[in-house]
Structure 1
Amino acid sequence: MAELIQKGNQKVYDGYKSFQYLEAGVDYKSYTLAKEVDRVPSFSYPVTNEQENEVQTILEEDLMISMHEHTFIAPEDLNQFYEFRRQGRDFTAFEALSRSGLDVIFENFMDGTAMITSLAGWKWSDVIHDLGIRFSDIAHQDMVIKAERIEDLSRAKREGKIAFVGALESASMIENELDRLDVLYGFGIRTMGVCYSESNMLGSGLREPKDAGLSVFGKQAVERMNKLGITVDVSHAGDQTALDTIETSTKPVTINHAGARGVWDTKRMKPDSVIRACAEKGGVIGIEAAPHSTISENHPHHNIDSFMEHFEYTANLVGIEHVAFGPDTLFGDHVGLHDTLAGQLSIKSAQKSSMERVDYVKGLENPAECFPNIVRWLVAKGYSREDIRKVTGGNIMRVLKETWAK
């Protein structure tokens, strides 16, 4: 896999490792981290030599944007995860990302598990700490740039770099303080979810048995995000809260990592009504690949084919102009991490007990593997260059141009 990816869209990488400007064991506690690449057997979606050449050309020439990733490296021993998280220091897989084929990554950090002061996550001080530490690390290297304006995204492509778009999956940490949105914008956050799976001051999460919709404060927060230039996301919102958010927003709203409930009937997937409302407002739906999410009856064993079935269903429902990819992957044992955090992140409540378990999602195991295989799949299925360009970056750029500050 790595050799193939290096042919197309290889980044200018000088070998930097996270926090190498500090001394391990003196400035921070060192943990053995999972492998960035080849943690599991690599997999390239099968294409002909001619098609592979086309894939590499697309990766090289066109803008590749992932709407949702976690580029941190998990500890190898997940029994250490809670202790690891309390240190408040995440390591970024720079080497693997240099071969990912990606130009822009919506970096969602790990703030649902920001546990420096509380096991519950989402605390204001912990989130600020997490953002500051990660951006400090990024500031010490040259391959990844902090994206704050549209020009940063195209500049990253031109310069052989990767633009990180600061993203948070929930606004829980603002509590009832609207001005905290301004502070987060100042830190570099450019897209934010209304809520995670649990309810907060803004609205109801998808876990809740009753969805009261967007609160009065939630409407104020959406209005403030519109004014600031923060793209509003409803991936983890309950159905009514998502619909209310889309209606309240004066700008397009995203679903940056989800799938279609019409393909796989769980709360984590979005119903047709929410997908249509998102598209009608001009938004985009990013299909996710986190383990045991985008499964289908045709492909109950989660893999790239079940993932792409959600993509095609959504594209057929609302048009290919409103679909993209937000794989929601990380570096390390993602399934094991879900098992470790099952109660913490309400993961089990969004899955079917009858599903087939996988150890990892073949072909979509981490942020370095996803997009080359997604492009291979699209090329193999005969999608046009124009349509591939839309779903791998163009559709997202359209939304960002409408939602970010000019």
Structure 2
Amino acid sequence: MIMTVKHYDGYRSFQYLTPGKHYKPYPLPQSERYRNTYEMKLSESEERIFNTIQKYYPIVSLRDHGFIVPKIPDDIIPYCRQLHTEFDYEGLARSGIDVVFENFMDGISIITSQNGLKWNDVILTLGIRYCDIAKQDTVFLAKTFKDLQEAKVSKRVAILPSLEAASILENEVDRVDVLYGLGIRCMGITYNEANTLGSGLTEKFDGGLTKFGRKVVERMNTLGMVIDISHCGDQTSLDVIEASESPVMITHAGARKVWDSPRMKRDEVLLACAEKGGVIGVCAAPNTTLSSKNPNEHTIESVMEHLEYLIDLVGIEHVGLGPDTFFGDHVALQDAFDSMLSLHESHGNQDYDSSPFVKGLENPTEAMSNMIKWLIKKNYKVQDIEKIVGGNALRVLQSIL
């Protein structure tokens, strides 16, 4: 049996209910969801460094998920139309992550809506997940910076409740306060398409941050909520950075100079984010942070090429890790929600073969660990690794929360 890094008491999602009676169960991946797709071997000295980092330094994922994708692709949509989607507490316990920005897959909450990103769906999703979380002791909901500091001490995972986009606000700025009251501490401005705040990254014309969007930015600053521009268009991103009094985060993205797609960020946006004191988290979702050096295979090497480009561009104090992984077939979920969320458009129109998964970074259990090991093997100083894997993110969070 593999020992978990965090406390895990054996709890499985909704085990207080009876499958088939209280909700419809769907076949889920079992032990294979923990498999290591890529073994990052370390020497004895490297292993000691890795163990030291895991034991003493805070590890922050700017975007990851405990969500489990059904085993059968045709089950994905009906599975997401019910309240009871399962969360992998054991997988997160094995990950070594101390703090995770978790949006509870709000972008694919389609309980009452055909297209997602609606107020009722998100509130229902938050409520049912919070209920499930209350029944176990591996993860806990963090609301303050002090809560985040408790994670490593208590050997638990601090979840910083986040939302993918602010589309659910419609034109109601006071909903920001309601979401804050419900524990949300980070929110994206747009997803791939435009909303009442601004333009998403797949829009042909980006009109920038709207008047309502500026009101939301101001309210988020006032409350102490992290602003995320990962899925915003270029002009909207620049407008948000300029309008915000607080640093802005790009929790999960990459560099367009490394892979030319709308999902990646222009240098101008990356530099503006850093100049405002923000942090950029490198994403590892399939078919996002590819590299023009090897466009037909998505691996840890291409993902980390984005990281090293960012370090050279904005400095090591402004980068972090936001793998954006979950458990099960990520590409199958992308395919299921492609038209609904403009996922293919966000990846661009380059001629490349879709990767079935990202070699070495398939799920939260292995992603952060392998990224840390990669940095160790590349002879990064421990002090610099500490900044990348959590220190930079915590510095920003301490100034906002």
Q: Tell me the SS of whatever aligns to 1:256.
A: strand
Q: Mean Cα displacement is larger for which, 18-27 or 243-252?
A: 18-27
In the TM superposition, what is the alpha-carbon distance from 1:314 to its structure 2 partner? 0.5
Post-superposition Cα deviations, 1:106-165, rounded to whole Å, max 9, x if no partner, equal: 111112111111121011111000000001100111111100001111111101000000
Aligned to 2:309: 313
Match of 2:357 among 356, 360, 366: 360
In the TM superposition, what is the alpha-carbon distance from 1:303 to its structure 2 partner? 0.4
2:173 and 2:7 mapped to 1: Cα distance? 39
Give the gaps of 5 or more residues in structure 2: none
Identical columns (%)? 50
Whether 1:156 and 2:156 are equivalent positions in the alignment is no
Pairing 1:76-115 to 2, within 5 Å after superposition: 76-115=71-110
Pairing 1:228-377 to 2, within 5 Å after superposition: 228-300=223-295, 301-351=297-347, 352-377=349-374
Q: Mean Cα displacement is larger for which, 302-311 or 78-87?
A: 78-87
Q: Tell me the SS of whatever aligns to 1:324.
A: strand
In the TM superposition, what is the alpha-carbon distance from 1:298 to its structure 2 partner? 2.0
Post-superposition Cα deviations, 1:313-334, rounded to whole Å, max 9, x if no partner, equal: 0010010000000001111100
Which one-letter code corresponds to 2:250 in the other structure? I
Match of 1:181 among 173, 176, 192: 176
Whether 1:71 and 2:66 are equivalent positions in the alignment is yes
Pairing 1:33-44 to 2, within 5 Å after superposition: 33-35=28-30, 37-38=32-33, 42-44=37-39
Classify 1:36/1:214 alpha carbon distance in 2 versus 1 (closer, same or farther; 3 Å): farther
C-alpha contact (below 8 Å) 1:113/1:119 kept by paired residues: no
In the TM superposition, what is the alpha-carbon distance from 1:36 to its structure 2 partner? 6.0
C-alpha contact (below 8 Å) 1:36/1:73 kept by paired residues: no
1:110 and 1:382 mapped to 2: Cα distance? 35
Post-superposition Cα deviations, 1:190-222, rounded to whole Å, max 9, x if no partner, equal: 000000001000000001000000000000000
Aligned to 1:210: 205
C-alpha contact (below 8 Å) 1:36/1:332 kept by paired residues: no
In the TM superposition, what is the alpha-carbon distance from 1:360 to its structure 2 partner? 0.9
Q: Tell me the SS of whatever aligns to 2:338.
A: coil
Aligned to 2:139: 144
TM-score using structure 1 length: 0.96
1:127 and 1:348 mapped to 2: Cα distance? 23
Whether 1:125 and 2:120 are equivalent positions in the alignment is yes
Q: Tell me the SS of whatever aligns to 1:344.
A: helix
1:35 and 1:321 mapped to 2: Cα distance? 39
C-alpha contact (below 8 Å) 1:225/1:231 kept by paired residues: yes
C-alpha contact (below 8 Å) 2:33/2:327 kept by paired residues: no
In the TM superposition, what is the alpha-carbon distance from 1:50 to its structure 2 partner? 2.0
Which one-letter code corresponds to 1:325 in the other structure? L
2:26 and 2:67 mapped to 1: Cα distance? 13
In the TM superposition, what is the alpha-carbon distance from 1:30 to its structure 2 partner? 1.2
Whether 1:394 and 2:391 are equivalent positions in the alignment is yes
In the TM superposition, what is the alpha-carbon distance from 1:37 to its structure 2 partner? 4.7
In the TM superposition, what is the alpha-carbon distance from 1:16 to its structure 2 partner? 0.6
Q: Tell me the SS of whatever aligns to 2:9.
A: coil
Post-superposition Cα deviations, 1:230-267, rounded to whole Å, max 9, x if no partner, equal: 10010000000000000000000000000000111110
2:62 and 2:22 mapped to 1: Cα distance? 33
1:381 and 1:30 mapped to 2: Cα distance? 44
Which one-letter code corresponds to 1:238 in the other structure? G
In the TM superposition, what is the alpha-carbon distance from 1:11 to its structure 2 partner? 0.8
Post-superposition Cα deviations, 1:16-52, rounded to whole Å, max 9, x if no partner, equal: 1111111111111111112365465532223223212
C-alpha contact (below 8 Å) 1:71/1:92 kept by paired residues: yes
**In angstroms, what is the RMSD of aligned CA positions?**
1.3
1:157 and 1:90 mapped to 2: Cα distance? 27
Q: Tell me the SS of whatever aligns to 1:185.
A: helix
TM-score using structure 2 length: 0.97
In the TM superposition, what is the alpha-carbon distance from 1:402 to its structure 2 partner? 1.2
2:149 and 2:314 mapped to 1: Cα distance? 27
1:264 and 1:233 mapped to 2: Cα distance? 21
Q: Tell me the SS of whatever aligns to 1:99.
A: helix
Q: Mean Cα displacement is larger for which, 29-38 or 290-299?
A: 29-38
Aligned to 1:166: 161
1:252 and 1:41 mapped to 2: Cα distance? 36
Aligned to 2:18: 23
Q: Mean Cα displacement is larger for which, 291-300 or 245-254?
A: 291-300
Which one-letter code corresponds to 1:332 in the other structure? G
In the TM superposition, what is the alpha-carbon distance from 1:357 to its structure 2 partner? 2.6
C-alpha contact (below 8 Å) 2:161/2:184 kept by paired residues: yes
Task: Give the number of aligned pairs.
Answer: 399
C-alpha contact (below 8 Å) 1:168/1:191 kept by paired residues: yes
